[in-house]
Chain A
């Protein structure tokens, strides 16, 4: 297991009360596997990723029952232990490549500073590896471009540079927070293809956060659907698309028009209601106010996790009833 987290919780104190942003999330990613964490804005997926990296502000409280990453046990989360892994065993790329690159430093500097520090590489060796990386991610004429600044590159190129930068330390786990959201559709496809290639070449594990089911379909081995701070359903990608079990997942998939199948002029079914606020705790199932199947059992009782197949579980009272 490259990443094994049980019962991750993130609490953020605010003016209006304690925000339960992440309410007991389990994540496991095997070596070389791609897990996509999917959900709408506000479900807590980005916070999950950020908390795994240990990059939340100090007033945020992060707890877990188990936290193992890259072979290290980080359950007693000291910042120091986590900091040692950053940039080496685990790396992260961000949504907006323009703002994620420092405008006042050359890309060469930004690519090499991590390994110069961690592996004590000489400038020359670091530059060589950087050139190699840039080439790998598809930047033409890499040697000359090392001394250039970020504003001299296009958006797609900057994302490639960011990927190269993340992989410089040869991590085992790459966390990608909406890496294609800020890019044009055609570039998106290229970046996803690139990630796929790098993954198989380097044996990378990939945790990819996104709200776009198209991205999921393109690249995921496993999918975890997140809603209001919890994982509603997790399944291998094919299974999820073929037979979603959670009403939320079903709603999401139903809302996607399929050419040739969805009748023209018909209204796309939307999930009624809104995402609940995350302040305070909630009894029962968080999704019940928007769920067509909601029943009395969904209001007060804790929601069971039901295994519905190999590698496939869903948190739903109704699913438990069906299974039982």
Chain B
């Protein structure tokens, strides 16, 4: 078990390094970052000044190491637009994104998993058909469109929720609903198909043959195995919820990380952009590594010889 974890961590570390290099490299996509910052209509001297001030004239590798080094000490540079440390700006906004992401995730799980299990227990029953409808519609409806329509219907016509902002918890209701509606289909499908596969196995039949009541068969035997493919997917979904909220944040005017990233892009505030991509990527790596470890905990076969 230990060797498994350490191997996974080693890979994760390597991925983090690669991702950091990629995030760093993003700055240079436009060619000359000095020009991007100074503005393409500016004078050459301004660009030169920027170049020196930010150290763009140094060799790439030095810049990268410098950036990484600072990042490790918690210094992600200075926002060009706001002129305050990047960490400060991010700190202000990260709460919204985390709340939105986690709450949506939990809501999605709470709905998708029982729905998937219920659908699997009675294939072709009304729950199964309902699940089918939810899955199909959830995958076809663009989330931003759903958000806008929801705002019109529930915010304007019926006045049930505020139409923008997250000052109160009410402001989170619609965004959470929309985000989880987007996450539910895949989670539900994988639970359902995992459950169906497991219910057809011999060991479930053997458990029934032992005279165990259905609820025990499901909770002790079936769920444990059906949940395995779900864990990896759930981790990926959580990652996507945390970073994909950019669209929802924009629709609902929430001041989260995603919206910050978008604004920074429009303002060419590259250090902020870089930092956000780096943070989200690291988050993904952490989530997937945790998911793999959780998988090994749940499935003894993955741990190697017993």
**Inter-subunit contact B224/A105 (CB<8 Å):** yes
- A131 contacts the other chain (Cβ, under 8 Å)? no
**Inter-subunit contact A104/B208 (CB<8 Å):** no
**Could you say which of B209, B210, B298, B305 contacts A104, with CB atoms under 8 Å apart?**
B298
Q: What's the nearest-Cβ distance from chain B to residue A264, in Å?
A: 41
The verdict on A86 contacting B224 (CB below 8 Å), with A96-B202, A117-B216, A148-B306 known, is no
**Inter-subunit contact A149/B306 (CB<8 Å):** yes
* Chain A 81-113 near chain B by CB (<8 Å), digits 1 or 0: 001111110011011100111111100000001
**Inter-subunit contact A100/B202 (CB<8 Å):** yes
**Residues of A contacting B210 in the complex (Cβ-Cβ under 8 angstroms):** 86-87, 91, 113-114, 165, 169
**Inter-subunit contact A86/B299 (CB<8 Å):** no
- A193 contacts the other chain (Cβ, under 8 Å)? no
**Residues of A contacting B224 in the complex (Cβ-Cβ under 8 angstroms):** 102, 104-105
Interface of B is mostly: helix
- A53 contacts the other chain (Cβ, under 8 Å)? yes
Q: What's the nearest-Cβ distance from chain B to residue A134, in Å?
A: 16
Bound Cα distance A149, B302 (Å): 12
**Inter-subunit contact B212/A113 (CB<8 Å):** yes
**Inter-subunit contact A103/B225 (CB<8 Å):** yes
The verdict on A55 contacting B299 (CB below 8 Å), with A104-B224, A117-B216 known, is no
**Residues of B contacting A165 in the complex (Cβ-Cβ under 8 angstroms):** 206, 210
**Inter-subunit contact A99/B212 (CB<8 Å):** no
- Give the residue name and chain of the A residue nearest to B228 (CB): A104
**Inter-subunit contact B202/A114 (CB<8 Å):** no
The verdict on A100 contacting B206 (CB below 8 Å), with A87-B211, A88-B211, A118-B211 known, is yes
- A152 contacts the other chain (Cβ, under 8 Å)? yes
- Give the residue name and chain of the A residue nearest to B298 (CB): A104
**Inter-subunit contact B306/A99 (CB<8 Å):** no
- A162 contacts the other chain (Cβ, under 8 Å)? yes
**Residues of A contacting B298 in the complex (Cβ-Cβ under 8 angstroms):** 104
- B220 contacts the other chain (Cβ, under 8 Å)? yes
**Inter-subunit contact B208/A162 (CB<8 Å):** no
**Inter-subunit contact A55/B205 (CB<8 Å):** yes
**Residues of B contacting A96 in the complex (Cβ-Cβ under 8 angstroms):** 202
Q: What's the nearest-Cβ distance from chain B to residue A298, in Å?
A: 38
- B221 contacts the other chain (Cβ, under 8 Å)? yes
Most A C-beta atoms less than 10 A away, residue of B206, B208, B220 = B206
- B134 contacts the other chain (Cβ, under 8 Å)? no
**Residues of A contacting B216 in the complex (Cβ-Cβ under 8 angstroms):** 113, 117
Q: What's the nearest-Cβ distance from chain B to residue A216, in Å?
A: 23
Most A C-beta atoms less than 10 A away, residue of B210, B213, B298 = B210
- B43 contacts the other chain (Cβ, under 8 Å)? no
- Give the residue name and chain of the B residue nearest to A152 (CB): B306
The verdict on A114 contacting B212 (CB below 8 Å), with A149-B300, A151-B306, A152-B306 known, is yes
Bound Cα distance A113, B201 (Å): 18
The verdict on A55 contacting B211 (CB below 8 Å), with A103-B301, A151-B306, A152-B306 known, is no
**Residues of A contacting B206 in the complex (Cβ-Cβ under 8 angstroms):** 92, 94, 100-101, 162, 165
- Give the residue name and chain of the A residue nearest to B225 (CB): A104
Q: What's the nearest-Cβ distance from chain A to residue B219, in Å?
A: 12
Q: What's the nearest-Cβ distance from chain B to residue A106, in Å?
A: 8
**Inter-subunit contact B301/A114 (CB<8 Å):** no
* Chain B 267-306 near chain A by CB (<8 Å), digits 1 or 0: 0000000000000000000000000000000111100011
- B207 contacts the other chain (Cβ, under 8 Å)? yes
**Residues of B contacting A118 in the complex (Cβ-Cβ under 8 angstroms):** 211
**Residues of A contacting B4 in the complex (Cβ-Cβ under 8 angstroms):** none
**Inter-subunit contact B211/A114 (CB<8 Å):** yes
- Give the residue name and chain of the A residue nearest to B208 (CB): A55
Bound Cα distance A148, B305 (Å): 10
Most A C-beta atoms less than 10 A away, residue of B201, B205, B298, B299 = B205
Chain B 134-193 interface residues, beta-carbon cutoff 8 Å to A: none
**Could you say which of B205, B209, B211, B301 contacts A151, with CB atoms under 8 Å apart?**
B301
**Inter-subunit contact B211/A86 (CB<8 Å):** yes
Q: What's the nearest-Cβ distance from chain A to residue B169, in Å?
A: 39
- Give the residue name and chain of the B residue nearest to A175 (CB): B209
- Taking Cβ atoms with an 8 Å cutoff, the residues of A that contact B are 53, 55, 83-88, 91-92, 94-96, 99-105, 113-114, 117-118, 148-149, 151-152, 162, 165-166, 169
28 sampled A-B residue pairs with Cβ under 8 A: A55-B208, A55-B209, A84-B211, A87-B209, A88-B211, A92-B206, A92-B209, A94-B205, A95-B202, A99-B201, A100-B202, A100-B205, A103-B203, A103-B300, A104-B298, A104-B299, A104-B300, A105-B224, A113-B207, A113-B216, A114-B211, A114-B212, A117-B216, A149-B300, A149-B301, A149-B306, A165-B210, A169-B211
- New contact pairs (6) apart from A86-B210, A99-B201, A113-B210, CB-CB < 8 Å: A83-B211, A101-B203, A101-B206, A102-B203, A102-B221, A105-B221
Q: List the 3 shortest-distance A-B pairs measured between CB atoms, nearest first.
A: A87-B211, A86-B211, A87-B210
